[in-house]
Amino acid sequence: MNWVLEGGLLVDPARGRVSEGPLAVVSGRISFGGPEAAENIDVSGCLVMPGNVCAHHHLYSVLARGMPGPDDPPRSFPEILERIWWRLDRALQPETIRLSALLGAVEAARAGTTSLIDHHASPESIDGSLDHVAAGIVDAGLRGVACYEVTDRHGTSRGRQGIAENVRFVRGNRWELIRGMMGAHASFTIGPETMETLVGEARSRRMPLHIHLAEDRCDERDSLERYGMRTAHRLSDAGALAEGDLVAHGVHLDEWEQQVVRDSKAWLAHNPRSNMNNGVGYAPVLRMGSQVVLGTDGIDGDMFAETRACYLKAREASWQTGPAFAVERLTAGTKIVGAMFGEPDLGTLAHGAPADLMILEYETPTPLNAGNLAGHVLFGLTSANVRDVMVAGTWIVRNRRHQLVDEEELAARCREAAPVLWKRMEAF
């Protein structure tokens, strides 16, 4: 099916362009030469923008919303992991993995996110788990990148099982809109043997790595105690930091480590709302420049909210930071996904780019142009403006309704499944 979007303003933050339409979608790609046979869609009073990318998500945590806290409240980041997330991930089974992924992906789509990079954990159900994550993302119609968080926290045999799951998934992947990475939890839960194996497998198979790095001081402390070096140095020495890899957080990187990460050309996923929620501190993103991309770390799939938080944290740290900084971090995420799919124009409105886009109801109340676009993204646009969303030429949201999933039925299923999952956590 081909479409012509008429009457809207075409807004392309990645290329800093604002122009009048129309824009056509022909065979799943953006086109500026209108097709012969196409359905016209009136988008007057709207913006047509590329869809957002969430560069670091944990779809497995989506059913935790409203979950009662542990009896003994955590007082540190390791206790948050031990008493909440490392119990929730053990309680997951194939059905809840898929349901969490589906709900998270549907909510992301409704917020205008068309691609997400997921980091999955389910230590009691490792084999095949990435198929369930991918199925949830595919059922919601999104583009996605999946990986399993390799860890030795339940023994090195589970560490090996995680590596095997990443390899199996990438080798057997037949989904058009899904790719895989080599996931890893974090330095402080990965021993030398597992680190060597996972890096060896990733490099020999050209799989980018996706790992947490220096989210909390505990990661640095562990690396210094066990290996006599800081975390980024340990990863770099192990060959786990290279161009195209994705490291999340980097909150506690010292100046030398920041240089190590900059030199590696790895991407750094900044998750400001999660960092505030966990009280771990503020990442040195103002020094890491163009390598910084944005993720939600499982908070939700709303990249407008994350970009605004990124901006406000940056302004609090240095009022010399302009709006463009945060919006550039948002759009940089599309480069990771573009590289994974061999689509360098993904995330732009360039002729021939994949038609991953959103239509926002936004009758601009002040002039909107290429020069002040970032100000509108940060102070005008929210996920509530998102009316329609398309991925690879397929409408997945029309008039604020998901087109592939019955949202009421999904919510009802989740309301039933969540308390059962929370109860299962008592066993761990």
Task: Write out the residues near Zn ion by the rule CB under 5 A.
Answer: 248, 297
φ/ψ of 265, rounded to 5, equals 65, 20
Q: How far apart are the first and last CA of the chain?
A: 50
Residue type, 28: G
Q: Return the number of the residue (248 or 386) whose C-beta is nearest Zn ion.
A: 248
Residue number, 297 or 343, with CB nearest to Zn ion: 297
Name which of 180 and 393 has its Cβ closer to Zn ion: 180
We find the least distance from the C-beta atom of residue 403 to Zn ion, in angstroms, to be 30
Q: Where are the alpha helices (DSSP H) in 188-302?
A: 192-204, 217-227, 231-237, 255-264, 272-278
Task: Give the span between the Cα atoms of 76 and 191, in whole angstroms.
Answer: 22
Instruction: For residue 22, say if its preceding peptide bond is cis, omega within 30 degrees of 0.
Output: yes
Q: Residue 277 or 364: which CB sits closer to Zn ion? A: 277
* Contact status, residue 201 vs residue 182, Cβ threshold 8 Å: yes
Shortest Cβ 113–Zn ion spacing (Å): 16
Minimum distance from residue 63 beta carbon to Zn ion (Å): 17
| Closest residue to bound Zn ion by CB | 297
Taking the complex as a whole, the smallest distance from the CB of residue 56 to Zn ion amounts, in Å, to: 6
- Least Å distance, CB 412 to Zn ion, is 29
Q: Which is nearer to Zn ion, 219 or 297 (CB)?
A: 297
Choose between 202 and 213: whose C-beta lies nearer to Zn ion.
Answer: 213
Using the minimum distance from each CB to Zn ion, give the nearer residue, 232 or 396: 232
| Alpha-carbon span 194 to 363, nearest angstrom | 54
- Asked if 241 and 247 count as a contact pair (C-beta separation under 8 A), the reply is yes
As measured in angstroms, the least distance from the Cβ of 249 to Zn ion is 7
- Nearer to Zn ion by Cβ, of 216 and 297: the residue is 297
Length of the chain equals: 428
**Least distance to Zn ion from the beta carbon of 261, Å?**
16
Q: Where are the alpha helices (DSSP H) in 251-372?
A: 255-264, 272-278, 303-317, 323-341
- What are phi and psi for residue 286, nearest 5 degrees? -70, -20
DSSP letter for each residue of 73-135: ---SHHHHIIIIIHHHHHH--HHHHHHHHHHHHHHHHHTTEEEEEE-B--TTS-TTHHHHHHH
CB of 279 to Zn ion, least distance (A): 15
Between 273 and 376, CB nearer to Zn ion: 273
Count Cβ atoms within 10 A of the Cβ of residue 72 and give its class: 0-12 exposed, 13-18 middle, 19 or more buried.
Answer: exposed
Nearer to Zn ion, 165 or 297 (CB): 297
Q: Which helix (H) or strand (E) holds 48?
A: strand 46-50
CB of 61 to Zn ion, least distance (A): 9
Query: Distance of CA 277 to CAs 62, 63, 135, 297, 327, Å?
Result: 16, 17, 29, 11, 22
Residue 184 C-beta: closest distance to Zn ion, Å: 11
